[in-house]
């Protein structure tokens, strides 16, 4: 028999009905949202078709079509935040193609924020040239969420209004500092010279002779060699002494960068935050030690010294001093420099090696590359970088690898309303130019007899000179469709050094060692290295990662036989 207490504990029918109704209400809201946004999408497509048939300069600009979605506020965020690189852009391209139009601008909703995605060459170039766009929101999001700075340090580095009262205009801003110490040819040459010293020294210590072949898991070894040479050249050797596991920590930090940037909570991606905390702690200890050794203010000369490395790092710290950045903030922005330095150059060079040594690539490609490298070989067996960077096939290979494997989101916020390709974009909205979308556009890249846009093709950037009959390297025809380093006033300041570093390291390796492909490698569910054989299915895959990762990380390796030349 039920007593009164038990009866009171049983939910009343109205409570049960309410609980049962909640899923129904949520499903109904989702269906209505999807239906409404889909109707609006097709209405916008209809408007676009009408305007295409009857073009007129007097037509009033309209809003771009908004990609249909089912969840209010979130919009397309869950689809966007998947870890299958390029899948969102392939879906978007297919969605636009299904309209039967040549539409190159549309809008997506990401967590309540409208982002206008542009794909046409004209729209991308207009975005890069516009003075009415800002990257401030993006910079602050990178600093606070991606790099782990405090809001106070982010305010210092990216103030809402220009600071005043500075005397030395040469280093008045970080942009000016980058131009002087990274972009100038003399600065890039100085960095490159030190990198090559470190790189050659590390290769000289490899235990190989010219008589015996030795099996090596090439890309795992390569990542560590390039990382240590580049870090030593730019940040100095002290940071590697104080944190000898920096190379291994860095790739975990790199893998978690976008999870932090997109604001995924710590409980979902705990390692993304744990590795950040660990690297910040150790880098802050290095910052405090080397500043104390320098009396608090790093010297301008010499070109390189072991405590803080290159001129660019010491100039940055003098800037940090003047602006009052905390030691934790300094560490965060130095890791940001390291991220920009390593997370693109090393993967790009690894992808190049994987393609050059793969049996899937025509054998004559590697032979021709070695001939170009040989033409840049000096009598002392070192590489003349000035000759190397002018070689057409090598340039084509580097740029094709950038085209194929760079997934960057060039993002700007509108300061004012803007008309782009006949569309009205509103103030404070985001405009996004995804490099992956433009750089894999089949309508642009598959002209004439070119291989598919989704294939890696060594000669894609070679053109036949009608006068001499020789092949020349050119990117002049790709404006607005090829921008792996970004564009406009925010183009990557380290691009000159990056290209020299890629070519210099690649040439030195191929001059110093003979390499023979053995097999592709992967990992099993326990993380152990396993053979994937020699077939095409074994070629390294792109690692699971979020859209906008920059250069896509590699999942896999190649085993080679090596011997000294």
The answer to whether 420 touches 118, Cβ cutoff 8 Å, is: yes
SS (H, E, C) 11-66: CCHHHHHHHHHHHHHHHHHHHHHHHHHHHHHHHHHHHHHHHHHCCCCCCCCECCCE
Count of domains forming the chain: 2
For 487-500, letters b (16+ CB in 10 Å) and e give bbebebbbbbbbbb
What distance in Å separates the CA atoms of residue 165 and residue 467, rounded to the nearest whole number? Answer: 56
**Token pair for residue 522?**
């992967």
pLDDT tens digits for 30-83? 999 999 999 999 999 998 888 877 776 667 888 999 999 999 999 999 999 999
Residue 420 lies in a domain: no
What pLDDT is attached to residue 161?
54
Based on the domain organization, do 242 and 122 belong to the same domain? no
pLDDT tens digits for 411-442? 999 999 998 888 899 999 999 999 999 999 99
Helix, strand, or coil (residue 420): strand
What distance in Å separates the CA atoms of residue 216 and residue 193, rounded to the nearest whole number? Answer: 27
What pLDDT is attached to residue 12?
55
Who contacts 340 (Cβ-Cβ below 8 Å, separation ≥6)? 492, 494
Based on the domain organization, do 272 and 220 belong to the same domain? yes
Under DSSP, the state recorded for 300 is: S
Based on the domain organization, do 182 and 95 belong to the same domain? no
The answer to whether 231 touches 338, Cβ cutoff 8 Å, is: yes
Q: Which residues pair with 377 in a beta bridge?
A: 383
Residue 8 lies in a domain: no
Mean pLDDT rounded to a whole number for the chain:
90
Of the pLDDT bands very low, low, confident and very high (cuts 50, 70, 90), residue 532 is very high
- Which comes out higher in pLDDT, residue 319 or 14? 319
| Structural domain containing residue 244 | 149-157+171-408+442-480+483-564
Who contacts 250 (Cβ-Cβ below 8 Å, separation ≥6)? 227, 279, 338, 342
What pLDDT is attached to residue 17?
66
Of the pLDDT bands very low, low, confident and very high (cuts 50, 70, 90), residue 166 is very low
Q: What is this structure's pTM?
A: 0.92
What distance in Å separates the CA atoms of residue 330 and residue 333, rounded to the nearest whole number? Answer: 5
Task: Read off the CATH number of the domain in which 191 is found.
Answer: 1.10.630.10
Q: Is 492 annotated as a binding residue?
A: yes
Based on the domain organization, do 240 and 357 belong to the same domain? yes
Based on the domain organization, do 96 and 28 belong to the same domain? yes
Based on the domain organization, do 205 and 276 belong to the same domain? yes
Percent of the chain with pLDDT over 90: 72
Based on the domain organization, do 99 and 242 belong to the same domain? no
pLDDT tens digits for 224-263? 999 999 999 999 999 999 999 999 999 999 999 999 999 9
What distance in Å separates the CA atoms of residue 62 and residue 47, rounded to the nearest whole number? Answer: 9
pLDDT tens digits for 372-410? 999 999 998 889 999 999 999 999 999 999 999 999 999
Based on the domain organization, do 63 and 197 belong to the same domain? no
Who contacts 254 (Cβ-Cβ below 8 Å, separation ≥6)? 339, 342, 343, 553
1-5, 94-98, 178-182: which is most confident = 94-98
Q: Which residue is listed with tokens 């104080």?
A: 242
Q: Which residue is listed with tokens 């000759």?
A: 387
Residue 507 lies in a domain: yes
Residue 433 lies in a domain: no
pLDDT tens digits for 453-475? 999 999 999 998 888 888 899 99
Based on the domain organization, do 516 and 455 belong to the same domain? yes
Based on the domain organization, do 183 and 94 belong to the same domain? no
Based on the domain organization, do 319 and 184 belong to the same domain? yes
CA angle in degrees (0–180, nearest 5) for 286-292-295: 140
Closest CA to 119 of 129, 109, 108, 104: 104
Residue 361 lies in a domain: yes
What pLDDT is attached to residue 210?
79
Helix (H) or strand (E) holding 410: strand 409-414
Based on the domain organization, do 395 and 538 belong to the same domain? yes
What pLDDT is attached to residue 543?
93
Whether pLDDT at 447 is above 80: no
Whether pLDDT at 302 is above 70: yes
Residue 311 lies in a domain: yes
Residue 372 lies in a domain: yes
Residue 1 lies in a domain: no
């Amino acid at each position: 028999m039920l007593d009164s207490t038990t009866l009171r504990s049983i939910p009343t029918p109205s409570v049960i009905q309410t609980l049962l109704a909640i899923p129904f209400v949520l499903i109904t809201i989702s269906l209505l949202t999807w239906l409404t946004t889909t109707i609006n999408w097709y209405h916008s497509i209809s408007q676009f078709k009408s305007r295409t048939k009857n073009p007129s300069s007097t037509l009033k600009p309209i809003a771009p079509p908004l990609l249909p979605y089912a969840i209010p506020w979130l919009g397309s965020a869950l689809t966007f935040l998947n870890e299958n690189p390029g899948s969102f852009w392939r879906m978007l391209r297919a969605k636009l193609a299904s309209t039967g139009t040549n539409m190159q601008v549309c809008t997506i909703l990401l967590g309540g924020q409208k982002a206008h995605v542009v794909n046409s060459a004209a729209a991308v170039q207009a975005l890069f040239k516009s003075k009415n766009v800002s990257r401030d929101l993006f910079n602050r999001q990178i600093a606070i969420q991606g790099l782990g700075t405090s809001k106070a340090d982010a305010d210092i580095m990216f103030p809402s209004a220009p600071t005043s009262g500075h005397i030395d205009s040469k280093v008045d801003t970080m942009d000016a500092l980058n131009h002087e110490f990274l972009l100038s040819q003399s600065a890039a040459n100085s960095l490159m010279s030190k990198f090559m010293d470190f790189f050659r020294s590390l290769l000289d210590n490899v235990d190989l002779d010219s008589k015996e072949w030795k099996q090596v898991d090439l890309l795992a070894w390569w990542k560590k060699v390039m990382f240590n040479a580049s870090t030593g050249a730019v940040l100095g050797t002290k940071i590697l002494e104080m944190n000898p596991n920096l190379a291994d920590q860095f790739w975990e930090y790199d893998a978690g960068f976008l999870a932090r940037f997109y604001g995924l909570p710590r409980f979902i991606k705990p390692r993304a935050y744990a590795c950040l905390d660990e690297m910040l702690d150790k880098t802050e200890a290095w910052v405090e030690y080397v500043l104390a050794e320098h009396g608090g203010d790093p010297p301008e000369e010499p070109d390189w010294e072991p405590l803080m490395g290159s001129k660019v790092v010491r100039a940055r710290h003098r800037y940090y001093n003047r602006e009052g950045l905390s030691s934790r903030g300094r560490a965060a922005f130095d890791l940001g420099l390291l991220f920009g330095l390593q997370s693109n150059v090393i993967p790009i060079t690894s992808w190049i090696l994987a393609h050059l040594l793969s049996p899937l690539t025509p054998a004559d490609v590697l032979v021709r590359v070695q001939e170009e490298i040989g033409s840049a070989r000096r009598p002392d067996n070192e590489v003349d970088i000035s000759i190397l960077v002018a070689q057409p096939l090598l340039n084509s290979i580097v740029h094709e690898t950038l085209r194929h494997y760079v997934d960057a989101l060039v993002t700007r916020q509108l300061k004012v309303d803007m008309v782009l390709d006949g569309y009205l974009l509103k103030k404070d909205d985001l405009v996004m130019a995804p490099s992956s979308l433009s750089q894999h556009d089949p309508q642009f890249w598959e002209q004439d007899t070119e291989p598919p846009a989704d294939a890696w093709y060594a000669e894609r950037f070679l053109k036949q000179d009608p006068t001499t009959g020789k092949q020349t390297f050119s990117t002049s025809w790709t404006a607005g469709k090829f921008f792996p380093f970004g564009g406009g006033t925010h183009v990557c300041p380290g691009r000159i050094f990056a290209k020299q570093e890629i070519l210099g390291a690649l040439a030195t390796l191929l001059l110093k060692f003979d390499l023979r492909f053995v097999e592709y490698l992967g990992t099993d569910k326990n993380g152990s290295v396993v053979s994937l054989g020699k077939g095409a299915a074994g070629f390294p895959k792109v690692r699971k990662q979020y859209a906008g990762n920059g250069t896509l990380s590699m999942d896999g390796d190649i085993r080679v036989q090596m011997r000294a030349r």
